[in-house]
């Protein structure tokens, strides 16, 4: 059996690492990197650190408008599928690379496997929501990370091929946490003391694309007077420059970091402020209070348990949460047991193997 994996953006490399390791014990895997993310510290660093096999194809699609980027991927992925003739195409999450991979395969009648299926924010203005809804509706095997995701699919009439396998990002954290403690020296490099700083990430279009929202966020960060560490996504760097935003002296902006450094920054942070999907879950896994700069989240379990709070881009709400938010709830094992990748491969083997 031959599986063609399509990945292209930072969180997909992290999700693919444990699954690919498991796939290769049983099947042949071809990795296609769309080139959506291409900077050294947005792409290569993850392949090296996480021992992800070098992509068999790099489509070098790069940045662009949504339709243009997705369309270019679609054209090039189709060519690879026609050449490789895989038995299934595997995609992750909700980026333009996810939709392009799924659509190319579906039109060629190749089974589509979607890992991290069923997530919903119910906000159709998000490019990610468009990508995930469309991908789910053309997928044959839908691997959900939580029971909520299974219910979301059911309410859209998707029940066949749906499995709650837990979250592959939990597999990834468990596998890498001890490695990160041994290998990462980011705390020493930045002179950071445990639980004396706040870690921040910002990259969602819904925040970066609106000058006023980004200004509110940076004003709240400045006025908190906390020590802030901000590994800056290139999208956000561009908008900070375009809008001429003044960054407070208490905010240390650094380049995006590798996964092992990121785990250490998360683990040692007093609180985490983010608009990332993956980082919300990692805060929960690592017992760090999370403040989410969004109006809604797909990861509602983290909020229901009291470990995550939604503040949008509201100045007062961000400041209040930085000062006063403390988790109060008990945690649950909503995200599986750290063996999601094995379950995924076992189910593929059972259901698709010829
Ligand atoms: C994409 C995903 C988003 C995901 C995020 C993970 C879509 C629609 N969005 O958002 O769901 O949360 O990845 O990080 O697929 N850039 C660089 N170097 C790079 C990559 C990007 O400079 O290596 C800059 C370019 O100016 C580019 C911008 O970042 O235009 C945005 O990149 P893009 O991949 O389009 O979207 P992300 O914001 O990264
Ligand atoms: N991450 C990283 N370095 C960084 C920022 C994030 O390794 O500088 C990791 C983070 O730990 C998580 C993943 O990237 O595993 C999340 O990706 P991102 O926030 O870009 O996308 P999202 O999850 O929102 O789609």
38-97 residue pLDDT tens: 999 999 999 999 999 999 999 999 999 999 999 999 999 999 999 999 999 999 999 999
| CATH architecture entry for 174-324 | 3-Layer(aba) Sandwich (3.40)
Domain 2-167+336-353: which CATH number of 3.40.50.300, 3.30.1010.10, 3.60.10.10, 3.40.50.2000: 3.40.50.2000
| 283 in Cβ contact with 289 (< 8 Å) | yes
**Is the alpha carbon torsion for 22, 24, 30, 34 positive or negative?**
positive
Residue 52, C-beta contacts closer than 8 angstroms, at least 6 positions apart: 13, 16, 17, 20, 31, 46
What's the CA-to-centroid distance between 129 and ligand 2, angstroms? 18
DSSP 257-280: --HHHHHHHHHH-SEEEE--HHHH
What's the CA-to-centroid distance between 125 and ligand 1, angstroms? 17
Q: Return the closest-CA partner of residue 180 out of 253, 233, 251, 257.
A: 257
Tell me the pLDDT tens digit for each residue of 243-290.
999 999 999 999 999 999 999 999 999 999 999 999 999 999 999 999
Alpha carbons 36 and 97: distance in angstroms, whole number:
7
What b/e string do you get for 36-69 counting C-beta neighbours within 10 Å, with b at 16 or more?
A: bbbeebbbbbbbebbebeebebbbebeeeeeeeb
In this predicted structure, the answer to whether residue 300 has a pLDDT above a threshold of 90 is yes
**ipTM score above 0.85:** yes
CA neighbours within 13 Å on the CB side: how many for 72?
16
Predicted pLDDT at 61: 98
In this predicted structure, the answer to whether residue 354 has a pLDDT above a threshold of 80 is no
Nearest CA to ligand 1 atom 33: 63
What's the CA-to-centroid distance between 125 and ligand 2, angstroms? 21
Predicted pLDDT at 212: 97
Return the residue matching tokens 């041994």. Answer: 182
Ligand 1 pocket, mutate which of 13, 93, 129, 235 (most atoms under 8 A from CB): 235
pLDDT averaged over every residue in the chain: 97
Which residue in 33, 37, 114, 203 is the catalytic one? 203
End-to-end CA distance of the chain: 8
| 162 in Cβ contact with 153 (< 8 Å) | yes
Cβ of 262 below 6 Å from ligand 2: yes
Looking at all shown ligands, the one closest to residue 205's CA atom is 1
Share of the chain above pLDDT 90, in %: 99
| 221 in Cβ contact with 251 (< 8 Å) | yes
Tell me the pLDDT tens digit for each residue of 329-342.
889 999 999 999 99
Cβ of 128 below 6 Å from ligand 1: yes
Q: Is 233 a catalytic residue?
A: no
In this prediction, residue 22 has a pLDDT band, given cuts at 50, 70 and 90, of: very high
For 24-35, what is the mean pLDDT?
Answer: 97
Alpha carbons 299 and 125: distance in angstroms, whole number:
18
Predicted pLDDT at 74: 98
Question: How many residues can be counted in the chain?
Answer: 354
Predicted pLDDT at 328: 83
Token pair recorded at residue 237: 């760097």
Predicted pLDDT at 353: 75
Taking residue 212's Cβ as centre, other Cβ atoms within 10 Å add up to 9
Alpha carbons 109 and 240: distance in angstroms, whole number:
44
| 149 in Cβ contact with 194 (< 8 Å) | no
CB-count burial class (<10 Å; 0-12, 13-18, 19+) for 281: buried
For 13-20, what is the mean pLDDT?
Answer: 98
The ligand 1 atom nearest the CA atom of 39: 23
The ligand 2 atom nearest the CA atom of 201: 5
Cβ of 238 below 6 Å from ligand 1: yes
- CATH 3.40.50.2000 maps onto the chain at 2-167+336-353, 174-324
């Amino acid at each position: 059996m031959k599986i063609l994996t399509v990945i292209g953006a930072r969180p997909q490399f992290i999700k693919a690492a444990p699954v690919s390791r498991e796939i290769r014990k049983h099947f042949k895997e071809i990795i296609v990197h769309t080139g959506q993310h291409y900077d050294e510290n947005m792409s290569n660093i993850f392949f090296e650190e996480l021992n992800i096999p070098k992509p068999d194809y790099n489509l070098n699609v790069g940045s662009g408008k949504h339709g243009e980027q997705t369309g270019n991927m679609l054209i090039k992925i189709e060519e690879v599928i026609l050449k490789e003739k895989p038995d299934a195409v595997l995609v992750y999450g909700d980026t333009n690379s996810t939709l392009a991979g799924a659509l190319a395969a579906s039109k060629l009648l190749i089974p589509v496997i979607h890992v991290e299926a069923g997530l919903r924010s119910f906000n159709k203005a998000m490019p990610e929501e468009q990508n995930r809804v469309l991908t789910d509706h053309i997928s044959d095997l839908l691997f959900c990370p939580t029971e909520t995701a299974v219910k979301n699919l059911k309410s859209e009439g998707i029940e066949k091929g749906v499995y709650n396998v837990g979250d592959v990002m939990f597999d990834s954290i468990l596998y890498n946490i001890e490695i990160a403690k041994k290998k990462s020296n980011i705390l020493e490099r930045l002179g950071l003391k445990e639980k004396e700083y706040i870690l921040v990430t910002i990259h969602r279009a819904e925040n970066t694309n609106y000058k006023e929202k980004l200004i509110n966020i940076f004003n709240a960060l400045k006025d908190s007077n906390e020590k802030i560490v901000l590994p800056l996504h290139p999208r956000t760097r561009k908008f900070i420059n375009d809008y001429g935003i003044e960054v407070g002296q208490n905010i240390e902006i650094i380049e995006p970091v590798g996964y092992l450094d990121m785990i250490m920054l998360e683990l040692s942070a007093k609180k985490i402020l983010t608009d990332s999907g993956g980082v919300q879950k990692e805060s929960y896994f690592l017992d760090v209070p999370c403040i989410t700069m969004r109006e809604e989240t797909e990861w509602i379990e983290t909020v229901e348990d009291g470990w995550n709070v939604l503040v949008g881009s509201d100045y007062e709400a961000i400041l209040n949460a930085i000062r006063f938010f403390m988790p109060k709830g008990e945690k649950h094992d909503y995200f599986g047991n750290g063996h999601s990748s094995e379950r995924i491969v076992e189910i593929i083997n059972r259901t698709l193997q010829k």
